[in-house]
Structure 1
Amino acid sequence: MDIDAQFRSLRDLIRWIDENTKGIEISGGHREQIASACFDVAIEHQAAIAILCDSKLFGSMHALMRVLIESLVRGLWLLHCATDAELERFEKRGIEKHFGDMTEEIEAAIGAYQPTLSQMKKNAWGPLNDFTHTGYIQVTRRHGNGALGSNYPVADVIKCLNASGAYGLIASAQLAAMAKNNDLVQAHLIKMQEYASVP
Protein backbone atom coordinates (compact mmCIF):
# COMPACT_ATOMS: atom_id res chain seq x y z
CA MET A 1 0.00 0.00 0.00
CA ASP A 2 1.22 3.51 -0.71
CA ILE A 3 0.81 6.62 1.45
CA ASP A 4 -2.22 7.90 -0.46
CA ALA A 5 -4.05 4.60 -0.15
CA GLN A 6 -3.28 4.30 3.59
CA PHE A 7 -4.37 7.91 4.07
CA ARG A 8 -7.70 7.22 2.32
CA SER A 9 -8.21 4.14 4.49
CA LEU A 10 -7.58 6.19 7.65
CA ARG A 11 -9.79 9.04 6.42
CA ASP A 12 -12.66 6.62 5.79
CA LEU A 13 -12.17 5.11 9.25
CA ILE A 14 -12.19 8.55 10.88
CA ARG A 15 -15.49 9.33 9.14
CA TRP A 16 -16.93 6.03 10.35
CA ILE A 17 -15.81 6.71 13.91
CA ASP A 18 -17.25 10.23 13.78
CA GLU A 19 -20.60 8.98 12.44
CA ASN A 20 -20.81 6.34 15.16
CA THR A 21 -19.61 8.31 18.20
CA LYS A 22 -20.85 11.85 17.60
CA GLY A 23 -23.22 12.73 20.43
CA ILE A 24 -22.68 9.38 22.16
CA GLU A 25 -24.06 9.35 25.72
CA ILE A 26 -21.82 7.85 28.36
CA SER A 27 -23.44 6.47 31.47
CA GLY A 28 -21.67 6.35 34.80
CA GLY A 29 -20.05 8.76 37.17
CA HIS A 30 -17.05 11.00 37.38
CA ARG A 31 -14.53 8.24 36.56
CA GLU A 32 -16.40 7.42 33.35
CA GLN A 33 -16.61 11.08 32.35
CA ILE A 34 -12.85 11.56 32.76
CA ALA A 35 -11.97 8.32 30.96
CA SER A 36 -14.35 9.03 28.08
CA ALA A 37 -12.75 12.47 27.67
CA CYS A 38 -9.35 10.76 27.32
CA PHE A 39 -10.74 8.49 24.60
CA ASP A 40 -12.28 11.48 22.83
CA VAL A 41 -8.90 13.26 22.89
CA ALA A 42 -7.27 10.14 21.39
CA ILE A 43 -9.83 10.17 18.56
CA GLU A 44 -9.14 13.86 17.95
CA HIS A 45 -5.40 13.17 17.78
CA GLN A 46 -6.15 10.43 15.24
CA ALA A 47 -7.95 12.96 13.04
CA ALA A 48 -5.12 15.47 13.50
CA ILE A 49 -2.60 12.88 12.32
CA ALA A 50 -4.61 12.45 9.13
CA ILE A 51 -4.73 16.22 8.59
CA LEU A 52 -0.99 16.52 9.17
CA CYS A 53 -0.35 13.70 6.71
CA ASP A 54 -2.55 15.33 4.09
CA SER A 55 -0.50 18.52 4.58
CA LYS A 56 2.76 16.52 4.30
CA LEU A 57 3.74 17.57 7.85
CA PHE A 58 5.19 14.17 8.65
CA GLY A 59 7.39 15.28 11.56
CA SER A 60 4.46 16.68 13.51
CA MET A 61 2.36 13.68 12.48
CA HIS A 62 4.89 11.29 14.01
CA ALA A 63 5.30 13.46 17.12
CA LEU A 64 1.55 13.28 17.77
CA MET A 65 1.43 9.48 17.61
CA ARG A 66 2.83 9.07 21.12
CA VAL A 67 0.31 11.61 22.45
CA LEU A 68 -2.55 9.65 20.87
CA ILE A 69 -1.37 6.44 22.55
CA GLU A 70 -0.92 8.18 25.90
CA SER A 71 -4.49 9.50 25.73
CA LEU A 72 -5.80 6.00 25.07
CA VAL A 73 -3.70 4.35 27.79
CA ARG A 74 -4.58 7.01 30.35
CA GLY A 75 -8.27 6.54 29.59
CA LEU A 76 -7.99 2.77 29.95
CA TRP A 77 -6.02 3.04 33.17
CA LEU A 78 -8.33 5.64 34.73
CA LEU A 79 -11.40 3.60 33.79
CA HIS A 80 -10.22 0.10 34.70
CA CYS A 81 -7.34 0.42 37.16
CA ALA A 82 -7.06 3.67 39.09
CA THR A 83 -8.13 3.64 42.70
CA ASP A 84 -10.40 6.42 43.92
CA ALA A 85 -7.35 8.04 45.53
CA GLU A 86 -5.41 7.85 42.24
CA LEU A 87 -8.36 9.34 40.39
CA GLU A 88 -8.46 12.22 42.85
CA ARG A 89 -4.69 12.66 42.56
CA PHE A 90 -5.04 12.81 38.74
CA GLU A 91 -7.41 15.74 39.11
CA LYS A 92 -4.91 17.65 41.25
CA ARG A 93 -1.43 16.60 40.08
CA GLY A 94 -1.80 14.27 37.11
CA ILE A 95 -0.92 10.60 36.95
CA GLU A 96 2.12 9.76 39.05
CA LYS A 97 2.81 6.43 37.42
CA HIS A 98 5.17 5.31 34.67
CA PHE A 99 3.63 4.46 31.31
CA GLY A 100 4.91 0.87 31.46
CA ASP A 101 3.32 0.38 34.89
CA MET A 102 -0.01 1.62 33.55
CA THR A 103 0.09 -0.78 30.60
CA GLU A 104 0.90 -3.69 32.93
CA GLU A 105 -2.00 -2.80 35.20
CA ILE A 106 -4.37 -2.50 32.25
CA GLU A 107 -3.30 -5.88 30.91
CA ALA A 108 -3.77 -7.45 34.34
CA ALA A 109 -7.21 -5.87 34.71
CA ILE A 110 -8.73 -6.55 31.30
CA GLY A 111 -6.22 -8.50 29.25
CA ALA A 112 -7.98 -7.76 25.96
CA TYR A 113 -5.29 -5.41 24.66
CA GLN A 114 -2.28 -7.28 26.01
CA PRO A 115 -0.57 -7.92 22.68
CA THR A 116 -1.28 -4.41 21.46
CA LEU A 117 -0.08 -2.52 24.53
CA SER A 118 2.83 -4.69 25.59
CA GLN A 119 4.16 -5.07 22.05
CA MET A 120 3.84 -1.33 21.46
CA LYS A 121 5.68 -0.58 24.72
CA LYS A 122 8.44 -3.04 23.89
CA ASN A 123 8.92 -2.25 20.20
CA ALA A 124 7.76 1.30 19.60
CA TRP A 125 7.90 3.37 22.78
CA GLY A 126 11.54 4.42 22.34
CA PRO A 127 11.07 5.64 18.77
CA LEU A 128 7.77 7.31 19.70
CA ASN A 129 9.56 9.28 22.42
CA ASP A 130 12.28 10.19 19.94
CA PHE A 131 9.74 11.54 17.46
CA THR A 132 7.86 13.50 20.13
CA HIS A 133 10.94 14.98 21.84
CA THR A 134 12.95 15.76 18.68
CA GLY A 135 15.39 12.96 19.25
CA TYR A 136 17.87 11.47 16.83
CA ILE A 137 15.31 9.42 14.87
CA GLN A 138 13.23 12.55 14.28
CA VAL A 139 16.11 14.82 13.25
CA THR A 140 17.67 12.27 10.89
CA ARG A 141 14.49 12.39 8.87
CA ARG A 142 15.04 16.08 8.09
CA HIS A 143 17.86 15.46 5.59
CA GLY A 144 17.71 13.69 2.28
CA ASN A 145 18.73 14.15 -1.33
CA GLY A 146 20.80 17.17 -0.32
CA ALA A 147 17.76 19.07 0.98
CA LEU A 148 16.60 19.97 4.46
CA GLY A 149 12.96 19.17 5.01
CA SER A 150 10.55 16.34 5.56
CA ASN A 151 12.29 13.19 4.32
CA TYR A 152 10.42 10.34 5.96
CA PRO A 153 10.58 6.83 4.53
CA VAL A 154 7.28 5.78 2.99
CA ALA A 155 7.18 2.78 5.35
CA ASP A 156 7.36 5.12 8.40
CA VAL A 157 4.46 7.23 7.19
CA ILE A 158 2.30 4.20 6.37
CA LYS A 159 3.07 2.62 9.75
CA CYS A 160 2.09 5.81 11.58
CA LEU A 161 -1.17 6.14 9.65
CA ASN A 162 -2.05 2.49 10.21
CA ALA A 163 -1.26 2.61 13.93
CA SER A 164 -3.25 5.80 14.45
CA GLY A 165 -6.22 4.09 12.84
CA ALA A 166 -5.94 1.07 15.11
CA TYR A 167 -5.48 3.02 18.35
CA GLY A 168 -8.23 5.50 17.50
CA LEU A 169 -10.55 2.58 16.80
CA ILE A 170 -9.77 1.08 20.21
CA ALA A 171 -10.63 4.43 21.83
CA SER A 172 -13.88 4.59 19.88
CA ALA A 173 -14.75 1.02 20.87
CA GLN A 174 -14.26 1.97 24.51
CA LEU A 175 -16.81 4.75 24.10
CA ALA A 176 -19.27 2.28 22.57
CA ALA A 177 -18.77 -0.09 25.51
CA MET A 178 -19.14 2.74 28.03
CA ALA A 179 -22.40 3.76 26.33
CA LYS A 180 -23.53 0.14 26.80
CA ASN A 181 -24.37 -0.01 23.11
CA ASN A 182 -23.81 -3.69 22.28
CA ASP A 183 -24.69 -3.27 18.61
CA LEU A 184 -22.08 -0.55 18.28
CA VAL A 185 -19.51 -2.65 20.15
CA GLN A 186 -20.13 -5.47 17.65
CA ALA A 187 -19.86 -3.00 14.76
CA HIS A 188 -16.48 -1.93 16.16
CA LEU A 189 -15.25 -5.51 16.33
CA ILE A 190 -16.19 -6.00 12.68
CA LYS A 191 -14.55 -2.68 11.74
CA MET A 192 -11.37 -3.71 13.60
CA GLN A 193 -11.18 -6.93 11.59
CA GLU A 194 -11.79 -5.04 8.35
CA TYR A 195 -9.17 -2.42 9.17
CA ALA A 196 -6.60 -5.03 10.20
CA SER A 197 -7.11 -6.89 6.91
CA VAL A 198 -6.41 -3.85 4.72
CA PRO A 199 -3.21 -4.69 2.80
Structure 2
Amino acid sequence: MPSLEQTLQRSAAFLEALMDQISSAEDFGGADERQEAAIAAAEVAIEHGTALNALFDMGLANSAVALLRLEYEALLRSAWLLYAATDGEVAKASTPLTRESGEAAKNLPTALTMLQDLERKMKVEPGIAGLVMPLRELRDEAWKPMNAFVHCGLHPLARVRDGFPESLAISVVKLSNGLIHFAARLLSRFTGNRKVMREVDEAFRVFQDVMPMVTGPHSEP
Protein backbone atom coordinates (compact mmCIF):
# COMPACT_ATOMS: atom_id res chain seq x y z
CA MET A 1 0.00 0.00 0.00
CA PRO A 2 1.41 3.44 -0.92
CA SER A 3 2.45 5.65 1.98
CA LEU A 4 0.74 8.90 2.87
CA GLU A 5 3.72 10.78 1.46
CA GLN A 6 3.37 8.96 -1.88
CA THR A 7 -0.39 9.55 -1.89
CA LEU A 8 0.11 13.26 -1.32
CA GLN A 9 2.67 13.44 -4.12
CA ARG A 10 0.32 11.71 -6.53
CA SER A 11 -2.56 13.91 -5.35
CA ALA A 12 -0.51 17.03 -6.08
CA ALA A 13 0.19 15.71 -9.57
CA PHE A 14 -3.53 14.99 -10.04
CA LEU A 15 -4.50 18.52 -9.02
CA GLU A 16 -1.81 20.00 -11.28
CA ALA A 17 -3.10 17.96 -14.23
CA LEU A 18 -6.64 19.19 -13.65
CA MET A 19 -5.65 22.82 -13.23
CA ASP A 20 -3.36 22.75 -16.27
CA GLN A 21 -6.33 21.73 -18.40
CA ILE A 22 -8.72 24.30 -16.94
CA SER A 23 -6.13 27.10 -16.97
CA SER A 24 -5.40 26.41 -20.64
CA ALA A 25 -8.95 27.49 -21.46
CA GLU A 26 -9.98 29.42 -18.35
CA ASP A 27 -12.32 31.87 -19.95
CA PHE A 28 -15.64 31.95 -18.16
CA GLY A 29 -16.77 34.98 -20.14
CA GLY A 30 -20.47 35.20 -20.71
CA ALA A 31 -21.35 33.39 -17.50
CA ASP A 32 -24.62 34.54 -15.99
CA GLU A 33 -25.21 35.25 -12.31
CA ARG A 34 -26.09 31.63 -11.53
CA GLN A 35 -23.03 30.29 -13.30
CA GLU A 36 -20.72 32.85 -11.71
CA ALA A 37 -21.92 31.84 -8.25
CA ALA A 38 -21.44 28.15 -9.04
CA ILE A 39 -17.95 28.83 -10.40
CA ALA A 40 -16.97 30.71 -7.25
CA ALA A 41 -18.17 27.87 -4.98
CA ALA A 42 -16.37 25.24 -7.09
CA GLU A 43 -13.14 27.24 -6.83
CA VAL A 44 -13.57 27.40 -3.04
CA ALA A 45 -13.98 23.61 -2.97
CA ILE A 46 -10.71 23.16 -4.86
CA GLU A 47 -8.99 25.64 -2.54
CA HIS A 48 -10.12 23.65 0.50
CA GLY A 49 -8.96 20.40 -1.11
CA THR A 50 -5.55 21.91 -1.85
CA ALA A 51 -5.26 23.12 1.75
CA LEU A 52 -6.30 19.69 3.07
CA ASN A 53 -3.36 18.06 1.30
CA ALA A 54 -1.00 20.76 2.57
CA LEU A 55 -2.15 20.23 6.16
CA PHE A 56 -1.61 16.48 5.97
CA ASP A 57 1.85 17.15 4.54
CA MET A 58 2.55 19.36 7.58
CA GLY A 59 1.38 16.65 9.98
CA LEU A 60 -1.78 18.58 10.96
CA ALA A 61 -4.16 15.69 10.41
CA ASN A 62 -7.08 16.79 12.59
CA SER A 63 -7.24 20.20 10.91
CA ALA A 64 -7.00 18.49 7.52
CA VAL A 65 -10.02 16.29 8.18
CA ALA A 66 -12.03 19.30 9.35
CA LEU A 67 -11.43 20.84 5.92
CA LEU A 68 -13.02 17.82 4.24
CA ARG A 69 -16.43 18.95 5.42
CA LEU A 70 -15.77 22.50 4.16
CA GLU A 71 -14.67 21.12 0.80
CA TYR A 72 -17.77 18.91 0.62
CA GLU A 73 -20.10 21.77 1.46
CA ALA A 74 -18.48 24.12 -1.08
CA LEU A 75 -18.94 21.53 -3.83
CA LEU A 76 -22.51 20.93 -2.68
CA ARG A 77 -23.15 24.68 -2.76
CA SER A 78 -21.75 24.90 -6.29
CA ALA A 79 -23.97 22.09 -7.56
CA TRP A 80 -27.02 23.49 -5.77
CA LEU A 81 -26.49 27.00 -7.14
CA LEU A 82 -26.14 25.65 -10.64
CA TYR A 83 -28.93 23.10 -10.71
CA ALA A 84 -31.42 23.61 -7.88
CA ALA A 85 -31.39 27.11 -6.36
CA THR A 86 -34.20 29.51 -7.15
CA ASP A 87 -33.39 32.77 -8.90
CA GLY A 88 -33.96 34.57 -5.60
CA GLU A 89 -31.53 32.29 -3.79
CA VAL A 90 -28.93 32.80 -6.51
CA ALA A 91 -29.38 36.56 -6.23
CA LYS A 92 -28.94 36.38 -2.45
CA ALA A 93 -25.72 34.37 -2.84
CA SER A 94 -24.42 36.80 -5.47
CA THR A 95 -25.08 40.05 -3.62
CA PRO A 96 -21.97 42.18 -2.84
CA LEU A 97 -20.84 41.58 0.72
CA THR A 98 -22.18 44.09 3.24
CA ARG A 99 -23.37 43.80 6.82
CA GLU A 100 -26.95 43.58 5.56
CA SER A 101 -26.29 41.03 2.82
CA GLY A 102 -24.25 38.95 5.25
CA GLU A 103 -27.21 38.80 7.60
CA ALA A 104 -29.57 37.92 4.76
CA ALA A 105 -27.26 35.13 3.60
CA LYS A 106 -27.76 33.37 6.92
CA ASN A 107 -31.10 32.29 5.50
CA LEU A 108 -29.51 30.35 2.64
CA PRO A 109 -30.31 26.61 2.84
CA THR A 110 -28.36 24.23 5.03
CA ALA A 111 -26.26 21.44 3.54
CA LEU A 112 -29.05 18.91 4.04
CA THR A 113 -31.64 21.16 2.39
CA MET A 114 -29.35 21.77 -0.59
CA LEU A 115 -28.81 18.04 -0.98
CA GLN A 116 -32.54 17.36 -0.81
CA ASP A 117 -33.17 20.11 -3.39
CA LEU A 118 -30.65 18.44 -5.69
CA GLU A 119 -32.26 15.05 -5.19
CA ARG A 120 -35.63 16.48 -6.19
CA LYS A 121 -34.02 18.08 -9.23
CA MET A 122 -32.41 14.76 -10.11
CA LYS A 123 -35.86 13.22 -10.59
CA VAL A 124 -36.50 15.51 -13.54
CA GLU A 125 -32.86 15.83 -14.63
CA PRO A 126 -31.40 12.33 -14.17
CA GLY A 127 -28.19 13.44 -15.87
CA ILE A 128 -26.98 15.02 -12.62
CA ALA A 129 -27.26 11.72 -10.71
CA GLY A 130 -23.53 11.08 -11.19
CA LEU A 131 -22.83 14.10 -9.01
CA VAL A 132 -25.77 14.04 -6.61
CA MET A 133 -25.57 10.36 -5.62
CA PRO A 134 -21.92 10.52 -4.47
CA LEU A 135 -22.76 13.66 -2.47
CA ARG A 136 -25.56 11.76 -0.75
CA GLU A 137 -23.35 8.73 -0.15
CA LEU A 138 -20.60 10.79 1.47
CA ARG A 139 -23.08 12.57 3.69
CA ASP A 140 -24.66 9.30 4.82
CA GLU A 141 -21.32 7.69 5.58
CA ALA A 142 -19.14 10.51 6.87
CA TRP A 143 -21.19 13.55 7.93
CA LYS A 144 -21.05 12.87 11.68
CA PRO A 145 -17.29 12.16 11.77
CA MET A 146 -16.60 15.24 9.63
CA ASN A 147 -18.65 17.35 12.03
CA ALA A 148 -16.79 15.86 14.98
CA PHE A 149 -13.50 17.15 13.59
CA VAL A 150 -15.01 20.60 12.94
CA HIS A 151 -16.45 20.84 16.47
CA CYS A 152 -13.62 19.05 18.34
CA GLY A 153 -15.77 16.09 19.23
CA LEU A 154 -14.76 12.57 20.23
CA HIS A 155 -13.00 11.72 16.96
CA PRO A 156 -10.21 14.33 17.05
CA LEU A 157 -9.79 13.97 20.81
CA ALA A 158 -9.25 10.24 20.36
CA ARG A 159 -6.81 10.80 17.50
CA VAL A 160 -4.73 13.17 19.62
CA ARG A 161 -4.65 10.58 22.39
CA ASP A 162 -4.20 7.43 20.30
CA GLY A 163 -2.53 8.72 17.15
CA PHE A 164 -3.81 9.25 13.62
CA PRO A 165 -3.68 6.05 11.51
CA GLU A 166 -1.93 6.51 8.18
CA SER A 167 -4.61 4.41 6.48
CA LEU A 168 -7.28 6.85 7.64
CA ALA A 169 -5.28 9.82 6.41
CA ILE A 170 -4.90 8.19 3.01
CA SER A 171 -8.65 7.51 2.83
CA VAL A 172 -9.43 11.14 3.62
CA VAL A 173 -7.01 12.38 0.96
CA LYS A 174 -8.67 10.11 -1.60
CA LEU A 175 -12.12 11.36 -0.65
CA SER A 176 -10.87 14.92 -1.04
CA ASN A 177 -9.45 14.08 -4.47
CA GLY A 178 -12.86 12.80 -5.53
CA LEU A 179 -14.47 16.09 -4.49
CA ILE A 180 -11.75 18.06 -6.27
CA HIS A 181 -12.42 16.07 -9.42
CA PHE A 182 -16.13 16.84 -9.34
CA ALA A 183 -15.41 20.55 -8.78
CA ALA A 184 -12.92 20.60 -11.65
CA ARG A 185 -15.43 18.88 -13.91
CA LEU A 186 -17.99 21.54 -13.10
CA LEU A 187 -15.46 24.27 -13.91
CA SER A 188 -14.47 22.60 -17.16
CA ARG A 189 -18.07 22.88 -18.38
CA PHE A 190 -17.87 26.65 -18.18
CA THR A 191 -14.83 26.83 -20.47
CA GLY A 192 -16.98 25.68 -23.39
CA ASN A 193 -13.96 23.69 -24.61
CA ARG A 194 -14.93 20.07 -25.32
CA LYS A 195 -11.32 18.88 -25.32
CA VAL A 196 -10.77 20.36 -21.86
CA MET A 197 -14.01 18.81 -20.61
CA ARG A 198 -12.98 15.40 -21.91
CA GLU A 199 -9.45 15.63 -20.50
CA VAL A 200 -10.73 16.70 -17.06
CA ASP A 201 -13.44 14.01 -17.06
CA GLU A 202 -10.92 11.28 -17.85
CA ALA A 203 -8.07 12.52 -15.63
CA PHE A 204 -9.08 10.02 -12.96
CA ARG A 205 -7.97 7.13 -15.20
CA VAL A 206 -4.29 8.00 -14.75
CA PHE A 207 -4.75 8.63 -11.03
CA GLN A 208 -7.06 5.82 -9.96
CA ASP A 209 -4.60 4.94 -7.20
CA VAL A 210 -5.51 8.18 -5.37
CA MET A 211 -9.22 8.23 -6.16
CA PRO A 212 -11.95 7.01 -3.78
CA MET A 213 -14.01 5.39 -6.51
CA VAL A 214 -14.19 4.96 -10.26
CA THR A 215 -16.25 7.85 -11.59
CA GLY A 216 -16.34 7.70 -15.34
CA PRO A 217 -17.04 10.59 -17.69
CA HIS A 218 -20.56 9.24 -18.26
CA SER A 219 -21.48 10.65 -14.85
CA GLU A 220 -22.54 14.22 -15.59
CA PRO A 221 -21.50 16.74 -12.91
State TM-score, norm by structure 2: 0.81
Letter of the structure 1 residue corresponding to residue 195 of structure 2: D
Q: Helix, strand or coil: the match of 2:130? A: coil
Match of 1:187 in 2: 199
Alignment of 1:171-186 (within 5 A): 171-186=183-198
Match of 2:219 in 1: none
Q: Matched residues in 2 for 1:79 and 1:2: separation? A: 37
Q: Matched residues in 1 for 2:145 and 2:170: separation? A: 15
Q: Matched residues in 1 for 2:174 and 2:145: separation? A: 16
| Displacement of 1:194 | 3.3
Q: Matched residues in 1 for 2:49 and 2:146: separation? A: 15
Match of 1:86 in 2: 89
Match of 2:169 in 1: 157
Tell me whether 1:56 sits opposite 2:75 in the alignment. Answer: no
Match of 1:8 in 2: 9
2:136 to 109, 118, 121: 118
Match of 1:29 in 2: 32
Match of 1:143 in 2: 161
Letter of the structure 1 residue corresponding to residue 192 of structure 2: K
- Residues 38 and 114 from structure 1, CA distance in 2 versus in 1: closer, same or farther, beyond 3 angstroms? closer
- Residues 198 and 47 from structure 1, CA distance in 2 versus in 1: closer, same or farther, beyond 3 angstroms? closer
Structure 1 window deviating more from structure 2 (78-87 vs 92-101): it is 92-101
Q: Give per-residue Cα distances to partners, 1:75-111, cap 9 Å, x unaligned.
A: 1101111111111233432253231221232242422
Letter of the structure 2 residue corresponding to residue 173 of structure 1: R
| Displacement of 1:120 | 0.5
Q: Give per-residue Cα distances to partners, 1:166-186, cap 9 Å, x unaligned.
A: 101110110101222211111
State TM-score, norm by structure 1: 0.89
Q: Give per-residue Cα distances to partners, 1:137-188, cap 9 Å, x unaligned.
A: 11111013xxxxxx21112100111111110111011010122221111112
Letter of the structure 1 residue corresponding to residue 145 of structure 2: P
- Residues 156 and 111 from structure 1, CA distance in 2 versus in 1: closer, same or farther, beyond 3 angstroms? same
- Residues 116 and 165 from structure 1, CA distance in 2 versus in 1: closer, same or farther, beyond 3 angstroms? same
- Residues 177 and 73 from structure 1, CA distance in 2 versus in 1: closer, same or farther, beyond 3 angstroms? same
Letter of the structure 1 residue corresponding to residue 109 of structure 2: K
Q: Helix, strand or coil: the match of 2:207? A: helix
Q: How many residues align?
A: 193
Structure 2 stretches lacking a partner, 5+ long: 96-100, 212-221
Q: Matched residues in 2 for 1:198 and 1:142: separation? A: 25
